[in-house]
Chain A
Amino acid sequence: MRSLSFVRLLAKELRELFASRAFWLLLLFVGILVGHGFMTAVGLYAEMSGSGGGPAALPQGLNSLDGVLVPTWGAYDLAATLLFPFVAIRVISSEKESGALKLLLQLPGTLISKVSAKALVLLFAWIVSWVPGIAAIVLWRSYGGHVYAPETLNLLLGHLLRGLLSGGLAVAAAALAESAASAAIITLAFTVGTWALDFVAAGRGGFVQQLASYTPTAALRSFEQGLLRWNALVVFVLLSCAAFGVAVIWLNTGHTIRARVLRTLLLLVFTIGAVWIGAGLRASRDVSENRRNSFPAADEAALRAVNQPLKITIFLSPEDPRLTDFEQNVLRKLRRSVSKLEVDYAATSSTGLFESTEEHYGEIWYELGGQKVVDRSTIEEVVLEQIYKLASVNAPERSSDDGFPGYPLAAQPKHAAAIFYILWPMVVIVTWWLARKF
């Protein structure tokens, strides 16, 4: 009986989703955004592959994930920020504003099951909106483009979690706010806040940078780079569940505000604890075909043999491009390979035009086993050499061939404009019209 009630609630939520203009507008606009991203990416990829007769980029530098899939699916990051929250807000606000919530609260089933039905339908809506993105991958394959399944599925997982979190936050905001408009303001304010945190924390190190690595955009970035970080996955899921939990607490109008605030605080304390534990998971898997997140296998084996704590002190300001290089090419890989790594961002100055830099600026100190080496290079091979020297480990033999051939392809985005700008909008509008009939 209970499961039957849940199925009926699920069916109701599905009907309500199909009756929502926000959902159909999401489908309509996401197709256009994906189409624009896809055609631009395919064109640029073709140019880099030498389609215009100019010099082609090194083949090793050309891969579908960076060149086509990430820019195409970037449309979903935009949709998760600016379109999908409105679908999620409507799921709650329409019932709050119409008074249907008073009936819903009395229907069979717990409030948790009712919010779960809404969450499942939102997840369904998010996955349905992927049809243009999947169509883009199919088109790319039809042009002869290469698609590496593990990194592609990892990218989709990132977008799935991004959508889940975005939906959860919007649902929580709708449960807290009196109106849909207030809920939209809360959701957008949260998003802008995470952008600000992401920007401010870059290269600062410490707790702020760690916190910023779990903002939706930053966490998605690791999936876009072919890295499956278990801590990002766990934190995404925990935060999403907590957001839906907040909705459950605040939709229960039978409890006093004081009781609801107390329950919310309890949930927050539990979530912070769980997130703290989840964030400590260091395991990650490099699913990229070109192993961009890993050192060569021989170096990884040599680094695993380093058991003493390695401390790296960096005298580079957050604005310095050398720090970005160092982060992207070295630190990201070292964090995955060295079990006891401490990174200290020691620079206190910025690189303003008329500013004299502080003493040691530009230096990178490596400390291991009571020994210290100072260097200025941000090149992977040089850094590894310094670490091996400190650890008294023989540098492994490096192969000149990293095994990744690269996939240049000078293809034109044939039929893409017709599919994304004409066919898809027509399909959405006709389905919208048919859905209104039933």
Chain B
Amino acid sequence: MLWDVSFGVGTGEVLGLIGPNGAGKTTVLECVAGLLPSDSGRILYRDRPLSSNRRKEALFYLPDGILPWAQQTVRWVLTFFEKLYARTPETLSALTGPLRLEEVSRSRVATLSKGERKRVLLALGLLTPHPLLLLDEPFDGLDLRQTRDVMSLLRRESETGRTLFVSIHQLVDAEKVCDRLVLLNAGERVAEGTLAELRAQANLQNGGLEEIFLALT
């Protein structure tokens, strides 16, 4: 259940949504994507209301923990998205390298490990051309090196002007990749701002996101 959650995100920004398990991070993302209904509220896109059936024109949401088209090969799933969104083969190959997908391209999605599956999902999300990309736990299941690679990839993506709205439960990762953060706890927005702004709201001179989070929740 969510109450009175509101926030804004600017073009080319990486906005992090952080909170403990059960805080409502995935629910927020799915409501924004129009995959879950909300009792009230609205989404403004470039200062104009965006109805739920037009959301997919502006944004794409990549869920966590899904196993899409499990009996198909990785190559087919990626090519399906590439062709569906009329992307060039170069766009796809620019993703398969950093995400190390060449080695699993012939494997079926069902046979992939958790990390490999996450990398395939990230490639699908990054293949979409939408100006706003919503990612649910993009680093979940990735090892340290892969996490760093994906962070670089996401930063590069945001530098092209694409806006990323990312839900992360690992606060260390969130601190590294996000420009601004929204703190969510028990379905309510607790705070919003840059790391420095959040530090000020929490009355902390120093300290990382973990200390801020504990102070504010």
Contact = CB atoms under 8 A, between A and B. Distances in A.
Contacts of B22: none
Contacts of B63: 99, 102-103
B133 to A, nearest CB: 11
A5 B86 CA distance: 10
A19 B60 contact: no
Contact of A98 (B67, B84, B85, B124): B67
B72 A15 contact: yes
B71 interface: yes
Contact of B84 (A99, A107, A259): A107
B84 A102 contact: no
Interface in A99-129: 99-100, 102-103, 105-108
B152 to A, nearest CB: 25
Given A15-B72, A16-B69, A99-B67, A254 B80 contact: no
B69 A108 contact: no
Interface in B49-89: 52-53, 56, 60-61, 63, 65-72, 76, 80, 83-86
Interface stretch (B31-39, B166-174, B176-184, B202-210): B31-39
A360 interface: no
A141 interface: no
A55 B23 CA distance: 83
B213 to A, nearest CB: 28
Interface in A1-27: 1, 5, 8, 12, 15-16, 19-20
A8 B52 CA distance: 24
A256 interface: yes
Given A5-B84, A254-B52, A259-B37, A99 B65 contact: yes
Contacts, number: 64
A100 B61 contact: no
B66 A103 contact: yes
Contact of B72 (A19, A99, A103): A19
Contacts of A351: none
Nearest to A11: B80
B36 A100 contact: no
Contact of B37 (A12, A100, A255): A255
B37 A106 contact: no
Size band of the interface chain B makes with A: 20 to 34
A253 B36 contact: yes
A107 B77 CA distance: 13
Contacts of A99: 63, 65-68
Contacts of A5: 84
B125 to A, nearest CB: 9
B71 A16 contact: yes
Nearest to A21: B71
B58 to A, nearest CB: 11
Contacts of B53: 254
Interface in B120-166: 124
Nearest to A104: B68
Nearest to B56: A106
A110 to B, nearest CB: 9
Given A5-B84, A12-B80, A105 B35 contact: yes
Contacts of A102: 30, 35, 61, 63, 66
Contacts of A259: 37
Nearest to B136: A102
A255 to B, nearest CB: 6
Contact of A108 (B36, B65, B84): B84
Nearest to A257: B37
A105 B37 CA distance: 14
24 contacts: A1-B86, A8-B83, A12-B80, A15-B76, A20-B71, A98-B69, A99-B63, A99-B65, A99-B66, A100-B67, A100-B68, A100-B69, A102-B30, A102-B63, A103-B124, A106-B33, A106-B60, A107-B56, A253-B37, A254-B35, A254-B52, A254-B53, A255-B37, A256-B37
Q: Please give me the 8 A-B residue pairs with the lowest Cβ-Cβ distance, nearest first.
A: A99-B66, A19-B71, A100-B68, A256-B37, A254-B34, A98-B67, A106-B56, A102-B63
Interface of A: 1, 5, 8, 12, 15-16, 19-20, 94-95, 98-100, 102-103, 105-108, 253-256, 259
Given A5-B84, A99-B63, A256-B37, 9 more contacts: A12-B69, A16-B71, A19-B72, A20-B71, A98-B70, A99-B68, A106-B33, A254-B35, A255-B37
